[in-house]
Structure 1
Amino acid sequence: MPQVFTSNQLLKGRYSEHGRVYLLTTVTDHRRPIFSDFHLGRLVVNQLRQAHEDGIVHSIAWVVMPDHFHWLVELRRKTLGELMCRIKSRSSVTVNRASQSASRLWQKGYHDRALRQEDDLKAAARYIIKNPIRAQLTTRIGDYPLWDACWF
């Protein structure tokens, strides 16, 4: 049986270090495929880009899947918790406004993994952007509209 963690347990050992690269993942509430709608997915993309433009992170790669997103970032300002709170709250407001809904958009919490210096950033980015291929949403990444990486 899989281990279930409370939101407080998910915070144990979480540390935010400026200059460190993190792989962040969060999932929609009840894994609803909300971002199958391209326009709603673009609203999340806009929030990822805004965090980059505001200097909170340097975005390395991201992909918005129908029911979650993966984001490879170098943290520049704020904590991981503050960053994810910002992304999730702002995207919730814009997605709910656009879809004329008042429902919860995201599950509580998020997953983060700090990459070590010896980790290959390009390999991590490739893994992220190949998610739509592994999920059989497309056969070529260039055909999937909700991704980007700083090298492409």
Structure 2
Amino acid sequence: MSRPLRIEYAGALYHVTSRGNERKAIYREESDFNLFLDTLAEVCERFNWTIHSWCLMTNHYHLVVETPDGNLSAGMRQLNGVYTTRFNRRYGRVGHLFQGRYKAILVDKSAYLLELSRYVVLNPVRARMVEHPGDWLGAVTVIPSVS
């Protein structure tokens, strides 16, 4: 059975998640968080993405991504592929880092952006890793005014 097609269009907003293969860590140390964020910044520049909020957990990540050019699939292929290559090179490993296909949920920006961003940055609190979202190294929300 074939995979369902992704809905992509200019200006779309998505809640994107991707989990480590076998639910294993995709960040082993603080520098890996930075490596992922550097890779994400490159993807944002190349594909003209806007990140409204993100949270990097130990074995998965959440992104709230707006795609002005309707190019989520191309950008995600770059993000997960390049990060996997860099992570594998750093740790002398080969093979998949991420479990299957990333998950992307299309979101109504005007109705759910703020609530979704709260959900994303509160992940480490709900997982009882920290008491306050600001205490977690891998989470941030940057919400511009919603028009």
Aligned twin of 2:75 = 83
Note if contact 1:55-1:77 (Cα within 8 Å) is conserved in structure 2: yes
> Aligned partners of 1:78 and 1:116: how far apart in 2?
15
Aligned length: 144
Gaps of 5+ in 2: none
User: Following the alignment from structure 1 to structure 2, what is the Cα–Cα distance between the partners of residues 63 and 14?
Assistant: 23
Kindly indicate whether the alpha-carbon contact (under 8 Å) linking 1:36 and 1:65 is maintained by their aligned counterparts in 2: no
User: Matched residue of 1:16: which SS?
Assistant: coil
1:136 to 128, 141, 147: 128
TM-score (norm 2): 0.87
* Alignment match, 1:43: 35
The percent of aligned pairs where both chains have the same amino acid is 22
TM-score for the superposition, normalised by structure 1: 0.85
After superposition, the C-alpha distances for 1:85-137 in whole angstroms (9 at most, x for unaligned) are 11100100111122222232111201111112442311111110110111111
Give SS of 2:53's match.
strand
State which drifts further: 65-74 or 49-58.
49-58
Contact 2:47 2:75 in 1 (8 A): no
Aligned partner of residue 73 in structure 1, secondary structure: strand
Distance (Å, rounded) in 1 between the aligned partners of 2:95 and 2:33: 16
Out of 9, 13, 30, which is 1:21 matched to? 13
5+ residue gaps, structure 1: 1-5
C-alpha deviation, 1:13, in angstroms: 4.3
Could you say which residue in structure 2 is the equivalent of 1:3? none
4+ residue runs of structure 1 moved beyond 3 angstroms? none
How big is the shift at 1:32? Answer: 0.1
1:149 aligned onto 2:146: no
